[in-house]
Amino acid sequence: MNTPIKKKPVPREDDWIEKIYVMVRRIPKGKVTTYGALADAIGSRLTSRMVGWAMNKAHTAKPKVPAHRVVNRNGMLTGKHHFATPTLMQELLEAEGIRIEDDKIKDFKTHYWTPS
């Protein structure tokens, strides 16, 4: 007698993306976090690339997602090309009091926010 193998439910794409968006919405103004820190905080075997992919789609999310506050592990604005203009990410961060030099956050550790 063959017993059917029970498959684990596959999480819907929207589920893990929404978890990322909820966490990004918690980042305070004037603070940033990294793709990897978000992936670690959310778990579910997410990778930093998956977080980046979600940030790329964030412009369609409602309520808004402050994707400009997510940077790479060195404080580089690696996602800037996914904004409406190449300088918009930097402009949004600077409007929150974060200094940028050569596409990198000055005093990155000061502005870093740890997701929990």
- Residue 2, domain member (yes or no): no
Give me the CATH number covering residue 59: 1.10.10.10
What pLDDT shows up at residue 7?
A: 55
Which domain, by its residues, includes 49? 13-111
The sign one gets for the Cα dihedral 25, 57, 104, 91 is: negative
Tokens of 55: 């940030």
Contacts of 91 (CB under 8 A, 6+ apart): none
Q: The tokens 């893990």 sit on which residue?
A: 16
The overall longest dimension of the chain from CA atoms, in Å, is 67
- Residue 81, domain member (yes or no): yes
What pLDDT shows up at residue 5?
A: 64
For the chain, the domain total comes to 1
pLDDT higher than threshold 90 for residue 112: yes
Which residue in 101, 47, 39, 95 sits closest to 68, CA to CA?
95
- Residue 116, domain member (yes or no): no
- Residue 20, domain member (yes or no): yes
Q: How far is CA 91 from CA 64, 84, 95, 101, 109, in A?
A: 17, 12, 6, 12, 20
What pLDDT shows up at residue 45?
A: 78
What pLDDT shows up at residue 10?
A: 47
pLDDT tens for 28-75 read: 999 999 999 999 999 877 899 999 999 999 999 999 999 999 999 999
